[in-house]
Structure 1
Amino acid sequence: MSQRVLELETKVRTPECDVIERQYRDNLADLKLVVAKEYSTGIIGGDDTTMFHHMGPEKKRRSLSDKDARLCETLLRICVHIIWLALGRKSFNQIELELHRLFKSETFNCVEHAINSGYLAKMTREERRVLIGQCVRKDKKLHICSPLINEVFCDRRIDYRLLGLGVIEYPELPARLQYIYQAVAGPESDIRESGVSLGIVGHPRANFDTMLHPLVVPAAKSKSRVMSQSLQSNLDQSKISTKSSTTTGSTKKIYEDIILPHVEDEEPEFPPEFPHTPLPPRRCSETQRRRWQRRLRRLLRAGAPRTHSHVTK
């Protein structure tokens, strides 16, 4: 949208601009609704988040608001870094600001309060209409809802199947919902084959170094030259990330654009009864989980003071 606003400064605005920007707004709204579904599940302690609820699995304990706040902040920080890495280490500040705004609203965006960038006030009317959306509700500070929760209770046209993607097995899905399902709940090995783009997610691990910097190394080079070129690519990548947005467009893209299929003009038909067959849950790899546990134990042992080595677990 920033690039589009810059282009519109030297071009004449036409009715087709409203159509394109409305598509952008609908795409963002549907994606925010999918995130809001998972966020709402975590808030109420549903599905596999029950054990993390701040009032206990049965919701009968006294509310542990401090523990809940720490868990929320930790998850947000992890999400910011995952998105930043997946999108090729670009626009960290924008990702952090927007993610905190989505989960906390403009009023409680602590990152914006700390750096005072004023990025929302600097937006043009067209940018606000697309990025903020049409589901913003103004209320008193104590009763205000985050933009994600507003998406759940918005009165716009919503395909009801969006709220069941990855949970319920639907008999037939249009191309748009198939794309979103693959991005949300599909196996990572099928992402590239299905034409879905999630940044570097789904790309072969061998194409990246330990810090997930892209590697472009001919196979004929020796191991020492491979290591030196890996270090050089890391330095080049850090230099590229510090350049302005006008020069980043000339760098080679490491992932495809994220383009959602268009919305079907026909309204979705409501079946006589909704499907009851749940999709099988996709658990993490048991081998990978044990590797992370062993790594965590090694880090804890390495960081423990020697004087307290006799203390039991």
Structure 2
Amino acid sequence: MKRIHVDNYAPKYYSGKWSWDSKKDELHFEPHNDLEDARERYITTNTFMFMRTMNQEEELIFRQEFVRPESSFDNDTVVIYDIRDLVLFLMPSEFLTFKFVEFIHQPAVYRLLHALIIYFEYFLRLVEFVLIRRDELSGQMAQVQSEQTNDMKRVFSMYLSQYRMLVARNYSVIIKGEGAMGKYYHMKEIVNISATIWDKNFHEQFLACSIQIVWIAMHRRAYNIIEMEMNRLFRSEHFVTSRPEYLTFTPAERSLLYGRNSKIVNYRTQISPLIQELEHIPEDDVPILWIGERKYRGTDIRIMEMELEYIVPEPQLSLIDVAHGILGHPKKLYNTLLELDWPSVRYSNFSKKHDPYHIVRQPHLDIPQIDATKMRKMTKHYEHFYKIHGLYEECPRQMIFKWLRRERIIKFYRSGGLLTNIVSRCEKELATTSHGPRVDQIIANYFKVKSRLRKEATYGDDAGSLASSRVGNASPRKRKHSLEWHFDH
């Protein structure tokens, strides 16, 4: 079959089906022109209808109007911004209010989504481990568990609780309503009256969007498990709907997955499992609460691993051989819906020895050392010297207003608006008589883009020289997600 070159303005995701044309004696592609009544058009997330797929016209609108521009950071790799923009395009129209769209673009929300993706990457692996062990312990060829197996499960449960603690830390920043999050707090400042109905709807919408973002980041697998666990984390088990497609765990499996801090009491006094993790923090795990805020100084290898996994930006995850779903993968391997394009994967010639993005290798769990808990008791923690300041790419205000006009933009193009393709773009360039921008404006635009992509580290006079000497031969220029080191007085 002849390989057809597709330009950047042509659809990458083809929604339809193949059938055999007996007259022409060849395969014929029939696109889905009307998907409104199709069963696979929508997916229900907490009673909200999200689009599961899009037709070619919607895809062209999305890529022309709402995809991240080429001047943004790491445009050739998949990051959380790309998944967030896709979910914003697929979400129901009632979600598109100014306060919600502005909230979803806040740095605190970005950090919470990042922690959730890390947590569910490990949680889904443990669920798979639990199901495999369930099959091994049942039937005629059942295996006998040893004490070492129980020790290994305890270490796995401890690691999962630590990731859950990181999610709870970022979630508590939002619900406290301090700083930039104050405008989204449910309590009025002067009259102290709670906007209960508004806060309930706002929380439900954010929870549904979080499920969609994590599900897409996890290669769109285990949707029911993600939905069930997300509702349990943010609500508690009293408010999780019992559905036949949800898994049922035994008490031993629940103890492994939910941790020792998970307790069920009367619904009037029940708090969410995330807050339960913050109520009983072991002394050795206290530095986890400062991951991403302070540079850890100590000998605890486990905290070092968590810190490295959290502060390394998505495009550099392959350098530390860590997989967080599709984050950090090249965009050329995915279509517009961020689904793997298997022909592109085959042409990349990945193998078990050359698999930087964990595509060929199945999700696996590294067997921990049996005495991992004993080794942590002998570690030492030292006073911190540096603070970590992550650079966040803020969303322009005009882009937020563009999301609010999403339905009108789609309606405009469907009613006759011209979608740009390679032919129309060339015709437009040939028909124009202008000589383009002036030289000084070209230089100004260049330095504007350069200042965004290359952030200069800000050091103090004395503290900066001390910090730079401690870091080593670090370059004075820092890119996005790089760390700005400041001396902490």
TM-score normalized with structure 1 length? 0.73
How far apart are 1:261 and its partner, in Å?
6.9
Q: Kindly state the Cα deviation for residue 181 of structure 1 after the two structures are TM-superposed.
A: 2.6
Partner residue in 2 for 1:18: 150
The equivalent residue for 1:165 is 291
Aligned-pair CA distance for 1:175: 4.1
Give the superposed CA RMSD.
Answer: 3.2
Query: 1:44 deviation in Å?
Result: 0.8
Aligned 8 A contact 2:298 2:380 in 1: no
In the TM superposition, residue 183 of structure 1 has moved relative to its aligned partner by 3.6
Distance 1:159 1:37, change over 3 A: same
Bigger mean CA offset, 256-265 vs 80-89: 256-265
Distance change (3 Å), C-alpha of 1:188 and 1:27: same
Distance, in Å, in 1 between the alignment partners of 2:381 and 2:222 is 41
CA distance, structure 2, for counterparts of residue 293 and residue 126 of structure 1 = 47
Pairing of 1:1-313 with structure 2 (within 5 A):
1-9=130-138, 10-46=142-178, 48-55=180-187, 61-109=192-240, 112-113=241-242, 115=243, 119=247, 122-154=248-280, 156=282, 158-172=284-298, 174-217=300-343, 253=360, 256-257=363-364, 263=372, 265-267=375-377, 268-271=379-382, 274-275=383-384, 277-284=386-393, 289=396, 292-293=399-400, 295-296=402-403, 298-302=405-409
Map of 2:351 onto structure 1: none
How far apart are the structure 1 equivalents of 2:215 and 2:148? 32
Cα drift, residue 3 of structure 1: 1.5
Partner of 1:203, secondary structure, is coil
Provide, for residues 180-202 of structure 1, a one-character-per-residue CA deviation record: whole Å limited to 9, x for no partner: 23443431122111122111111
Contact 2:299 2:381 (8 Å CA) reproduced: no
Deviation at 1:218, TM superposition (A): 5.7
Shift of residue 15 of structure 1?
A: 1.4
SS of equivalent residue, structure 1 residue 12? coil
For the structure 1 residues 157 and 140, does the alpha-carbon distance in structure 2 shift closer, same or farther, using more than 3 Å as the test?
same
CA distance in 2, matches of 1:157, 1:18: 23
Q: Which moved more, 1:31-40 or 1:6-15?
A: 6-15
C-alpha contact 1:214 1:254 (8 A) present in aligned 2: no
Count of equivalent residues = 265
Measure how far apart 1:168 and its partner are. Answer: 1.9
Which residues of structure 1 form unaligned runs of 5+?
222-251, 306-313
Q: Is the 8 A contact 1:53 1:59 kept in 2?
A: no
The structure whose residues are more often strand, as a share, is 2
Mean CA deviation greater in 276-285 or 64-73: 276-285
CA distance in 1, matches of 2:326, 2:137: 31
Deviation of the 1:130 alpha carbon: 0.4
- Give the Å deviation of 1:148: 1.0
Higher helix share: 1
Q: 1:93 and 1:70 mapped to 2: Cα distance? A: 22
Change (3 A) 1:47 1:5: farther
Shift of 1:90: 1.0
Aligned AA (1:3): I
Does structure 2 conserve the Cα–Cα contact (< 8 Å) formed by 1:176 and 1:261?
A: no
Long gaps (5+) in structure 2 = 1-129, 348-358, 413-489
**1:82–1:102 distance in 2 versus 1, CA, 3 Å:** same
From the superposition, tell whether residues 40 and 69 of structure 1 become closer, same or farther in structure 2 (CA, over 3 Å). Answer: same
Relative to structure 1, is the Cα distance of residues 304 and 213 closer, same or farther in structure 2, using a 3 angstrom cutoff?
A: closer
Contact 2:137-2:144 within 8 A present in 1 as well: yes
Of structures 1 and 2, the larger Rg is shown by 2
